[in-house]
Amino acid sequence: MHENRELVEARINRFLRERLPGRVWRERQAAALAVWEAPGEPVPFSLAVGRDYRPFSTGSPWGAPWGTTWFRVSGTVPEGWEPGNGNRAELLIDLGFPGGGPGFGAEALVYTPDGGIVKAVEPRNMFVPLPQAPGEAFEFYVEAASNPNVAAGFTFAPTPLGDRNTAGEAPLYVFRSANVALFDAGVWNLVRDFWTLNGLMHELPMDLPRRYEILRALERAVTAVDPADVPGTAAAGRQQLAPVLFSPAYAGAHRVYAVGHAHIDSAWLWPVRETVRKVARTFANVLELMDTEPEFVFTASSAQQYAWLQEHYPELFARVAERVREGRFVPTGGMWVESDTNMPSGESLARQFVAGKRFFREQLGVEPEVVWLPDSFGYSAALPQIARAAGARWFLTQKISWNETNTMPHSTFRWEGIDGTQLFTHFPPVDTYNAELSGQELARAQRQFAEKGFANSSLVPFGWGDGGGGPTREMLAAAHRTQSLEGSPTVRLATPEQFFAAAAAELADPPVWSGELYLEFHRGTYTSQANTKKGNRRSEALLHEAELWSAAATLRAGAAYPHRELELAWQTVLLQQFHDILPGTSIAWVHQEAERNYVRVAAELEVLIGNAAQALLGEGTESAVLNAGPYPLEGTPASGAGPVPGPGTGTWEPSGGGWRISSGRLRLQVTADGLFSSLIESGSGREAFPAGRPGNLFQLFRDTPNQWDAWDLDAHYRFSSTDLMQPEAMVPEAGGRVLRIERSFGHTRITERVSLSPDGSAVDLDLEVDWHERQKLLKLAFPLDVHADRAASEIQFGHIFRPTHANTSWDAARFETVAHRWIHVGEPGFGVAVANDSTYGHDTFREVVDGRPCTMVRVSLLRAPLFPDPDTDQGLHRFRYSLRPASGIPDAVAEGYRLNLPLRTVTGTARTHLAPLIRVSSPAVVVETVKLAEDRSGDVVVRLYEAHGSRAEAQLRTDFPYTAVEATDLLERTVESDVLGGEVSGAVSGAAGPVLRLRPFELVTLRFRRA
């Protein structure tokens, strides 16, 4: 036989491209259309159904950006279309889909006239089943969303479409068709056979006989199918394919557990209100598919999305709940949303699980054990401990496959956090969370599975995602055909738990990855949309205060604890920690709404704090300060109240065109350029800055990433920088205790106020930046005379060390990192802490100055990417920083809390003193949270952790009565723990409580039972 493989493949490709498309449905007849356009925001079906609908014709434009158009579609199933052999009548609706997958443009939800939800209509899923018999009439109402395609092929060009105010009113779509059509199951199955086999064939090696068996079978099938009569000859074509399609997989084939899901971003290139509808559309698709596919199971995370369904689509939620009880609709993740894990505080990540698991338990009767975060932008080394403390056993992510530089060495492994806790983890080698179960995807999963020889199973998440959509009947057809197919991995439809149970049993001794899962990509997410990040940080602090003082007011004054108000505030903040909101990667609409929500939450929490303060301190003529932090401040005890402190001490005098600022502990020299040329700690006489390299240097960089503007900060930004020198003004204010420095450049103005901390141990910097640059990055640099090969960065419930050198490709790729409230660099005997009140992005690296090493610490203040929000960060921003020399990590911890939980002044009080509810004897043990129990029993819950990275023993003292104290998980359920020891005699107010013994970075939740 002569070699003609390429010719045969060309023949097959044209057959698939031109002969089969459009043949699945036949005998189409147009349906009747009428239309009503909803003004403004979407309305529910009950309001839309009774409106005045006008006639509408296919080929007509419809849909302004972000609008809602209701179509009434009616017709009759033609006589003679008797269902049978899988054939059935269907309604096909094409809203004018431009191609591609669902979720990024027009989409719709279909209702029956009585308000029942049928399914969604989206690209690649345009059919609506017609249960009517031939000759019977049908009618549907179609809620069509004219969402603009903001992505536009991800060219990252600036677009006005992400803001309702700039998107315009011109229609985006042309309604293409609405037809009654006869679905031909034989042709459809022929298409699915071809799709599966052709995809498999192209993944097989050229020298493998199986490849040529498939080739010749496809060739024979093409010959058997007459393009002029595809329905009449489809069975003959399938007969030619049957021998190769039913040849079973070999015994050692890679095992794929196919998990149906739909990654639905809770906001991204669409606003939150549109996600509510995306959830309904996707879940409706899933329920319709379950009616026809008995083996199909579906998993979905994010309690918030189920809660939206319960609120806005109760009938649909009831159907979901029924499938949950059957075990076919499987909640996973256990979190309120698929959160970013780099920037939320430790308590916020804890509450993601508390809120998420509480909803799943109470509303659906299940408790997920898998942490499901396929798309977050890197994973904090604190997450294993937090997840395990919430009762999770397993963790899944996909995003690390996006690494630019290094390839993750494991597919299935144990992930070890900063405290030593390990979490069984899977990183699907398929490298996508939107799989179609194609031959290419299955082959990639097999090829890239890292634990070959030790294990042989991986998970493939399949279903249209990002904008929702979910699995389709075509994907399930692929799953059935590859259940056991020679040359392909075997495919089993499964739940996440079924996969993880099998994987854990299969890999008895998995490898261990210790520390963070750093994403070598999307490094700009630590900085983009600074006001969103500031709103998050401030909300976290206010929630801490509101819970602390409300608990104290309940215990001390009998005030009602505001459970519901706190719960709603937490839900707003947790939602906005979603991995495309807090990272700053959504359209303008999303961030504008988030910032409005932060303002609202702040106002509501201020009311709660004010009410609690009044209950605790009474009404009078005095003034007091409340200290919500875990360390004493200016004479006020931690978690207590005291009199208003007096002003700090220090001397300020002109010096060499600049200023010399001194306290009993520091001497700071500010040059005429507004730079810090010298910072000496008085006790040691040690200088913080290298000679000739001043600190407090603002640097401006060109910021033009290769792609993913708001997401990425590429290494080449460092090649073009400008040092911002020559201030316009430098004048004292506030009675000579603050130095104001004014700078301007381009269209931007910086106002910096330099002062000393009240105890004189740190330099405080308050910044106002009126930012109007484009594609620029602003950093604040501190070159420090410290020889440090690593830097400590605060993360949730502890800190992590990262190298300051670039010895390996892993080190070099970590050129921008995330830190919470502080970064610390040090050498034995001397260190410097840089703390902040709302910044996350930093870089630390080694330099040589005049032959001597120094360590550069820079904080990233602002960016100005053009996509997806062309006005990112434009406007006024406020930041607060401190620089504390001669400090160790304990000082850095305290400094971070000082900036983020400053003293709160309360006027008109009767008292100026308030003893803390909780005291701990060791500064290494930080009381992070004091609140009342979620179950509203009145029990007191205290969350604390070891903050210094060492073993700690601490005496806990309480100032409220209780009957017993227990260690619990994050969900406040009693667990066995060796952390409690010593006497427990808290029935007398102020008596000694338990002795705590904590491992480095150990997280502990205690529940104090009250009668």
Q: Which residues are catalytic?
A: 375
What are 256's two structure tokens? Answer: 């794929």
The burial of 311, by beta-carbon neighbours within 10 Å (0-12 exposed, 13-18 middle, 19 or more buried), is given as: exposed
* Contact residues for 596 (Cβ-Cβ < 8 A; gap 6+): none
* Contact residues for 179 (Cβ-Cβ < 8 A; gap 6+): 25, 28, 29, 30, 31, 91, 92
| Dist CA 40 CA 356 (whole Å) | 32
Contact 120, 133 (CB under 8 A): no
CA distances from 886 to 528, 636, 829, 834, 916 (A): 32, 24, 8, 12, 30
* Contact residues for 352 (Cβ-Cβ < 8 A; gap 6+): 335, 336, 337, 339, 344, 574, 577
| Dist CA 241 CA 219 (whole Å) | 9
Tell me the helix, strand and coil percentages in the chain, rounded to 5: 25, 30, 40
For tokens 């300020």, the residue is 652
Which of 694, 764, 708, 266 has its CA nearest to residue 467?
266
The secondary structure of residue 464, as a DSSP letter, is: B
Question: CA 124, 128, 130 angle in degrees (round to 5)?
Answer: 150
What are 569's two structure tokens? Answer: 């505030």
CA distances from 256 to 262, 323, 479, 500, 714 (A): 18, 24, 10, 12, 35
Contact 957, 996 (CB under 8 A): no
CA atoms within 13 A on the CB side of 85: 11
What are 38's two structure tokens? Answer: 């909803």
Q: What are the two backbone dihedrals, phi and then psi, of residue 477, each rounded to the nearest 5 degrees? A: -60, -40
Query: Which residues are bridge partners to 830 per DSSP?
Result: 827
Which of 977, 971, 975 has its CA nearest to residue 368?
971
What are 90's two structure tokens? Answer: 């269907």
| Dist CA 668 CA 688 (whole Å) | 10
Contact 495, 299 (CB under 8 A): yes
Cα dihedral 407→411→417→423 (10° resolution): 170
What are 797's two structure tokens? Answer: 């419930």
Q: SS3 sequence, 339-390?
A: ECCCCCCHHHHHHHHHHHHHHHHHHHCCCCCEEECCCCCCECCCHHHHHHHC
Please name the helix (run of DSSP H) or strand (run of DSSP E) that holds residue 121, with its range, or none. Answer: strand 117-121
Q: How many residues does the chain have?
A: 1011
CA 217, chain centre distance (Å): 47
For tokens 């031939």, the residue is 134
User: How far does the chain reach from its first CA to its final CA, in angstroms?
Assistant: 90
Q: Which amino acid, residue 992?
A: A
DSSP code string of 738-765: EEEEEEEETTEEEEEEEEE-TTSSSEEE
Gyration radius from the chain CA atoms: 31
Pairing of strands 61-62, 117-121: unpaired
Give the other-Cβ count within 10 Å of 812's Cβ: 15
